[in-house]
Amino acid sequence: MNYNTTSITEQLKQMGYTIEMQSPIDDFDIFFAKSQDQLNLYMRSGKGVLHVRSLWGGFRPSALQEQAFYHRINEHNQRLLLLRCHYEQVEGDANDLTIVGSALYFGYEKVTFTKFLDLFLQENRAMINNLQEFIQPAPTPESQAAQSTPIVIPPATAN
């Protein structure tokens, strides 16, 4: 584990995150920072650079057919200081669209990292608020019951 990763993960632990280290890739440490009350983060650290990503699933794939969706993402990327967002669709899952927020942090210093993380979380909240209309509606008990209720076709009667 490189110096920046050690310092960053220790600070994240102090902030209440649980760290899950993954196998390094090309001299970069890969880890997840998970929290009960904050945004979960995917991080890649190495060579003095930290790449932070947030993933928000549950968006309607039909949003890709709406010009307003692209307009909102572009508008968001132009307005914010730190965060850049784009969408990803998981191959083989046509029912979910994921919004990805990402940012880079260079070096490590405790105070500036705290400010970076605060701004990253704040801009993520703004991004999601800006894209609310494209989130898939939560299933209602009625819709779940309709999906789980088998349709019974009565046998044909002889006339």
Mean pLDDT by 10 residues, the chain (159 residues): 85 95 91 91 92 90 93 92 89 80 93 95 92 82 52 49
Look up the domain containing 32 and give its range: 3-135
pLDDT of residue 150: 47
Give a yes or no: residue 55 inside a domain.
yes
Give a yes or no: residue 111 inside a domain.
yes
The span from the CA of 112 to the CA of 49, in Å, is 14
Count structural domains, the chain: 1
pLDDT of residue 152: 44
Give a yes or no: residue 159 inside a domain.
no
CATH number at residue 96: 3.30.1460.10
Give a yes or no: residue 125 inside a domain.
yes
pTM above 0.75, yes or no: yes
pLDDT of residue 157: 52
Give a yes or no: residue 39 inside a domain.
yes
Give a yes or no: residue 88 inside a domain.
yes
